[in-house]
Amino acid sequence: MQKENRLTRREDFNKVYRYGKSAANHQFVVYVLNRHSVQSGSGFRLGISVSKKVGNAVVRNRLRRRIKEIVRLNRDKLVPKKDFILIARKPAADMEYAEMEKSILHVLKRAELLVKKGQPGG
């Protein structure tokens, strides 16, 4: 994942949590916030959160890597100028790659983060 597509600072996370809207399914929760600042890039920014309740460090890091790869491969489908945080829930640890991708795309669709057909941007 490219640096300009990462949400890294604590205050950015807190802003998305505080002012953003959320959507969820059984495996993932997503918080979304519109980004209005001019200096930031035109693309989206992603933050990933995986609790210690999900598993040990190996499991959590594997989940993070898979989520990043799924978002990277589907970045052309994502609405620009949004900050969003994907939170993995416990059932996500037991998922295969294909079903994880389907679940992430489902929760992103519920959060209205996917570009609709005929809509510019992306």
Segment 2-15, tens digit of pLDDT: 888 889 899 999 99
Q: How does residue 41 score in pLDDT terms, banded at 50, 70 and 90?
A: low
Residue 63: pLDDT over 60: yes
Residue 1: pLDDT over 80: no
Compute the distance between CA of residue 32 and CA of residue 84 in angstroms, rounded to an integer. Answer: 4
Q: How does residue 31 score in pLDDT terms, banded at 50, 70 and 90?
A: very high
Segment 46-59, tens digit of pLDDT: 999 999 999 999 99
> The pTM is what?
0.88
Q: How does residue 37 score in pLDDT terms, banded at 50, 70 and 90?
A: low
Q: How does residue 120 score in pLDDT terms, banded at 50, 70 and 90?
A: low
Q: Residue 111 is encoded by which pair of tokens? A: 């959060």
